[in-house]
């Protein structure tokens, strides 16, 4: 069934017969319709780009300009391949154009690094231009920014994975705890019996063996204590908190250890530190764990720098050390349970830190260079922002 001509086509068909007054009315009507359509397309969250068969950009709404770094001057003068060279790795427009009968919707998930890191869901479908004589179709490109959804999904999966592991491991830990207690009691009985035996040549050797066993049992008990402490999640008791006071208190508690290692500490702050809502004891645990890792990563006469700053929404604490640093593989695994770069490490400290930060609506970031040192950045929402988030939750 043939399509009826649109009202615009009917008007254009009589264009030669219109007088100047009607032409003015027509131009004003077209301008209003164009403004309406541009308002609608610019209000859509997704990016919309129209290409001709050569890939030349014919139209781009405002969200697409920001997503792929286009300028308004590019429209009508630049191909999509020139502004987005990586697109050729994902979509071959020339191959699609050769298949004239194809009406297939192309969908790709693309990771972009310019103008900023984004994960984009790209939809591409053929688009015919009724008033064009071109034999090849153009393309309608829809760009959906799924970065936050993707990251949230990955966080949920990781959280559920860790939770399942922790529940299983907690049961195993309790089962191990019982025989460890029994071993401790019997080792103590053996030690007391050995103290009553005198003059036996093998007594000293047995006493040393028992001492080794006692120390190993104590070490295992310490591992279990750290583990059970890590998996017992306590919701934060949020109160008005001055981060600077907590930092000074934690550094003061570790003053002797810092002096022993000849490590200097500089605390810098850019103006007053805004109040945050936090659980004081849990934030102390975060700072203790981070400072402990920093100190252990540094040789004698190292330097520890703690800096605070703030903007309208967040308070930042940067803790920089001059330690051994981490390579990229270690950095990628630092928050995973049981991962540690230290021989005596339990691999739970940074996992606990991340969990506490997440419970506070805060974030942690780590930058590190092998042989240069590490910078840990803690980002806390200010009180007014945290209250808004709690009200939304």
- pLDDT > 70: what percent of the chain? 75
In percent, how much of the chain has pLDDT > 90? 9
Higher pLDDT, 201 or 327: 327
SS (H, E, C) the chain: CCCCCCHHHHHHHCHHHCCHHHHHHHHHHHHHHHHHHHHHHHHCCCEEEEECCCCEEEEECHHHHHHHCCCHHHCCCCEHHHHCCCHHHHCCHHHHHHCCCCCCCEEEEEEECCCCCEEEEEEEEEECCCCCCCCCCEEEEEEEECHHHHHHHHHHHHHHHHHHHHHHHHHHHHHHHHHHHHHHHHHHHHHHHHHHCCCCCCHHHHHHHHHHHHHHHHHHHHHHHHHHHHHCCCCCCCEEECHHHHHHHHHHHCHHHHHHCCCEEEEEECCCCCCEEECHHHHHHHHHHHHHHHHHHCCCCCEEEEEEEECCCEEEEEEEECCCCCCHHHHHCCCCCCCCCCCCCCCCHHHHHHHHHHHCCCEEEEEEECCCEEEEEEEEECHHHHHHHHHHC
pLDDT at 16: 66
Q: CB atoms < 10 A from the CB of 348, how many? A: 19
Q: Mean pLDDT score of the chain, rounded to an integer? A: 78
Q: Which of 184, 235, 176 is nearest to 361 (CA)?
A: 235
Average pLDDT of 198-215? 78
Packing angle of the helix pair 280-297, 349-359 (nearest 10 deg): 140
* pLDDT at residue 122 greater than cutoff 80: yes
CA distances from 315 to 35, 228, 233, 307, 354 (A): 43, 31, 24, 11, 17
Residue 260 clears pLDDT 50, i.e. is over it: yes
CATH of the domain spanning 151-231: 1.10.287
246 vs 47: CA distance, rounded Å: 45
- Are 244 and 275 spatial neighbours (Cβ–Cβ below 8 Å)? no
Q: Angle of helix 280-297 relative to helix 243-253, nearest 10 degrees?
A: 50
Alpha-carbon separation of residue 238 from 37, 62, 75, 212, 241 (angstroms)? 48, 41, 52, 44, 8
pLDDT digits (tens, 9 = 90+) for 36-87: 878 887 778 888 888 887 788 888 888 888 787 778 888 888 888 787 777 7
Two domains, one topology: 48-145 and 239-392:
no
Q: In the Cβ-directed half-sphere of 159, how many Cα atoms lie within 13 Å? A: 11
Band (pLDDT 50/70/90 cuts) for residue 324 is confident
Tell me the mean pLDDT in the region 219-246.
77
Indicate if the pLDDT at residue 1 is higher than 50: no
> What's the average model confidence in pLDDT over 239-244?
90
CATH number of 239-392: 3.30.565.10
Higher pLDDT, 375 or 334: 375
pTM of the model as a whole: 0.48
Looking at per-residue confidence, does 276 or 172 come out higher? 276
Q: Give the contacts of 309 (CB within 8 A, at least 6 positions apart).
A: 269, 270, 315, 316, 318
Lowest model confidence (mean pLDDT) among 19-33, 103-117, 122-136: 122-136
User: Where exactly are the structural domains of the chain?
Assistant: 1-43, 48-145, 151-231, 239-392
Mean pLDDT for the stretch of residues 97-104: 56
Beta-bridge partner residues of 307: 268, 318
The tokens 């984004």 sit on which residue? 118
- What pLDDT does 247 receive? 92
> What local confidence, expressed as pLDDT, does residue 51 receive?
85
Instruction: Return the ∠ at Cα 129 (arms to 124 and 135), rounded to 5°.
Output: 90
Q: What confidence tens digit (pLDDT) does each residue in 102-115 have?
A: 555 677 878 777 66
CATH of 48-145, one of 3.40.630.30, 3.40.50.720, 3.30.460.80, 3.30.450.20: 3.30.450.20
Rounded-to-integer distance, Cα 145 and Cα 14, Å: 44
How far lies 63's CA from each of 59, 271, 327, in Å?
A: 12, 37, 37
């Amino acid at each position: 069934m043939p399509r009826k001509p649109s009202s615009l086509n009917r008007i254009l068909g009589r264009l030669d017969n219109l007088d100047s007054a009607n032409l003015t009315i027509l131009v004003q009507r077209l301008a209003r319709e164009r403004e309406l359509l541009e308002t609608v397309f610019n209000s859509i969250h997704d990016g919309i780009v129209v290409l001709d068969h050569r890939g030349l950009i014919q139209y781009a709404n405002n969200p697409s300009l920001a997503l792929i770094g286009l300028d308004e001057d590019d429209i009508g003068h630049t191909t999509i391949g020139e502004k987005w060279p990586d697109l050729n790795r994902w979509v071959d427009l020339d191959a699609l154009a050769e298949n004239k009968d194809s009406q297939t919707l192309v969908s790709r998930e693309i990771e972009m690094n310019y103008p900023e890191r984004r994960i984009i869901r790209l939809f591409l479908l053929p688009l015919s231009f009724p008033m064009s004589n071109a034999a090849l179709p153009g393309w309608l490109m829809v760009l959906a920014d799924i970065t936050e959804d993707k990251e949230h999904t990955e966080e949920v999966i990781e959280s559920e994975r860790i939770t399942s592991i922790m529940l299983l491991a907690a049961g195993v830990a309790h089962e191990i705890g019982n025989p460890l207690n029994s071993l401790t009691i019997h080792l103590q009985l053996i030690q007391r019996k050995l103290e009553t035996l005198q003059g036996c040549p093998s007594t000293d050797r047995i006493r040393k063996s028992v001492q080794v066993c006692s120390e190993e049992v104590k070490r295992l008990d310490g591992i279990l204590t750290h583990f059970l402490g890590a998996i017992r999640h306590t919701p934060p008791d949020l109160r008005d908190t001055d981060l600077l006071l907590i930092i000074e208190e934690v550094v003061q508690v570790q003053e002797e250890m810092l002096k022993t290692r000849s490590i200097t500490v500089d605390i810098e702050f850019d103006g007053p530190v805004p109040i945050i809502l936090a659980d004081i004891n849990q934030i102390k645990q975060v700072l203790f764990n981070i400072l402990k890792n920093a100190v252990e990563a540094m040789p004698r006469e190292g330097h520890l720098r703690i800096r605070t700053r703030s903007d309208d929404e967040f308070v930042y604490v940067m803790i920089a050390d001059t330690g051994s640093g981490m390579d990229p593989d270690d950095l990628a695994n630092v928050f995973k349970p049981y991962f540690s770069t230290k021989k005596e490490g339990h691999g739970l400290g940074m996992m606990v830190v991340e969990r506490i930060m997440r419970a506070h609506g805060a974030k942690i970031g780590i930058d590190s260079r092998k042989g240069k040192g590490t910078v840990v950045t803690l980002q806390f929402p200010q009180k007014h922002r945290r209250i808004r988030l709690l009200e939304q939750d």
